[in-house]
A and B are shown apart, each in its own frame.
Chain A
């Protein structure tokens, strides 16, 4: 158990809908990362937050957004869902002490499996 929790575990929805995925980082971690894992694209970095502020952006679509709240939990919002958005979405957290230099070990949650029908 990494200490990172994600809810829900599974989510089934229809095209055009909007969903929210939630992540609680390990106790004391300030950084949260979101990744998407799909069969054709592999594991892709989406976005990072550090202590409530966006720190880095990866291959995140405009239809997707995220935020990190004062209690450090994070939510990933996916809207206007398409079939191709079906994937596993992982959250990871790190202490964030030295995250600019990339020396920060990330611990992953169990993921949310999103199925868009």
Chain B
């Protein structure tokens, strides 16, 4: 089955950029999603990228995809305290989304 790996924790200062990394194993993934989960809340769709793209920019969010290395990253520019949350990488598998363990982003004021 699909394996998705993410680092568990990232701490940045307010105003800095955050980069959250993800590696996956299923090369047939056609869409790769990023979801955000705030404490006590559900998963909020942040953005996604098609597998035939290298980069997608959406306001403060930049997604980079290295399909050869099966590496996905999410960059958040000018990180704010409201960005503190758990971020999940989720490539589409053969049936449904396969989620990484999530990266807890802590933003220090």
Give the residue of A42, A57, A101, A110 whose beta carbon is less than 8 angstroms from that of B102: A42
A106: Cβ under 8 A from any B Cβ = yes
Alpha-carbon gap, A16 to B98, bound state (A): 30
A2: Cβ under 8 A from any B Cβ = yes
Alpha-carbon gap, A109 to B42, bound state (A): 6
Q: Are A56 and B95 in contact (CB-based, < 8 A)?
A: yes
Binary interface profile of B, 31-55, with partner A (CB < 8 Å = 1, else 0)?
A: 1010100000111110010000000
Alpha-carbon gap, A101 to B41, bound state (A): 28
Q: Are B98 and A45 in contact (CB-based, < 8 A)?
A: yes
Give the residue of A45, A105, A109 whose beta carbon is less than 8 angstroms from that of B95: A45
A-contacting 9-mer, from B62-70, B76-84, B86-94: B86-94
Alpha-carbon gap, A83 to B7, bound state (A): 28
Question: How many interface residues does A have (CB within 8 Å)?
Answer: 23
- Chain B residues with Cβ below 8 Å from A56 are 95-96
Known: A42-B102, A111-B42. A58 touches B96 (CB 8 A): yes
- Chain A residues with Cβ below 8 Å from B21 are none
Q: Nearest residue in B to A6 (C-beta to C-beta)?
A: B42
B29: Cβ under 8 A from any A Cβ = yes
Residues on B lying within 8 angstroms of A by beta carbon are 29-31, 33, 35, 41-45, 48, 88, 92-102
